[in-house]
Structure 1
Amino acid sequence: MRIAGLNDRGLIRLIPETRHKPPVLRGLVDTDDEAEILAGLEGRTSARLIAERDGSPALDRRELVFARRSHDLKVYGQTHINAAFTYTRPGGNRFNSGDRGAWYCSYDVLTSAEEVGFHRTRELGYIGIYEDEARYVELLADFIGDFPDLHDNPGHPALTPDPDIGYPEGQALAAALRREGHRGLLYPSVRHEGGHCFVAFDPGIVQNVRPGASWKLIWRGTPDYSIEGL
């Protein structure tokens, strides 16, 4: 596998936008003080907070991002970076297992939208109802370094569209690359033809995170969805 130099700004990661929704626990209490108590209790089971405090079998807490010098100088995106590596799907994703996450991003918002849209459509398929509206916000980040690149090997088993095949192959590849000291991987998008993606295995290489545009994905009765800017 060839090694490619990466020195790019503004790679795009889409995450669910929740600021338009009221806090999940707010309806259970009558005052802000009570809501704060509930939020503290909820934090006891937060995978991110637990990992920041204690680490996990697959993630040393020292790998995570923390405030610099003082609480007042927190890095924007700190919680988003840590969350990407501590909140995982059961069974993992294409290049990460279920016990350690990764930072997935792309060079184009349509590529990122196709990636998140695939997963949401798959979830809607489980219940058989394709009526939904989901808001996402861009997280932009910069990367620099030399990384393995799968673009010259589009037939690699890790790029198989079927998750039952592609995910185990990709996870095995990522584990091998991490053992060799690699901190990320460039690869062609599996969901968006012509799209280019990057996955960071290490929180420390995700730099200069900042918010970008907001988007809405809408399903109107079929697995096909539309994308609208907000």
Structure 2
Amino acid sequence: MVSSTEGVAIWAVVPAAGAGQRFGAGRPKQYLSLRPGLCILEATLQPLLADPRLHGIAVPLAPDDEYWDGLALSRDRRLHACEGGAERADSVLRGLAHLRSLGAADEDWVLVHDAVRPWLTAGALSRLLDATLESGDAGILALPVVDTVKRVDEAGRIVETVPREQIWLAQTPQMARLGRLEQALSQQLAQGHWPTDEAAALEAAGETVRVVLGERGNIKITHSEDLKGRD
């Protein structure tokens, strides 16, 4: 399967090298069961695999990963496991390098999606792809803040109420040109910075990043409570 826009391919990186130690589940949380026969990582990958525009997906894993090979999904030829790094940005950079070994080029597009964000819908993914390809700028799924936002000091005292009209909560996938994302992440790491998402690195590099309306259900699993009442 080859998917491209005017000869430019679309790829993805799903960094899955995290140990999930804070989750306290005895195994990396991306491998926890979401429902019988389906782990979180498999559910995360499914909507990406279902979009025919994606050419291939790099999945950076921990060097001692002992679960990936046991997943039926791991045998999909569009999935390409590689060794990840200690931090998210390291893993993404290694994933980008692996995509290059598969033929990806600077001007190709790449999506980066959290391994533990399993409720991405086809509609949200399509909105991001369509909007980003149309604008030519990097783009991320995000939601406008609806609650009142407070800034507090070290003692927990409210300092001010922050206007929320221009405040958005970042989600993934986040999408950019491969070469620009690779350069932006490399620059941040060279300066000793560890960006918490790809957009932060792109912003620091002077790239324009647009928000595309996400969905409330597209949450990142952080605590065990996030799995309650979901399937």
TM range (shorter): under 0.3
**Which structure is larger by alpha-carbon Rg, 1 or 2?**
1
Q: TM-score, normalised by structure 1?
A: 0.24
Higher RCO by CA contacts (8 Å cutoff, separation 6 or greater): 1
Q: TM-score, normalised by structure 2?
A: 0.24
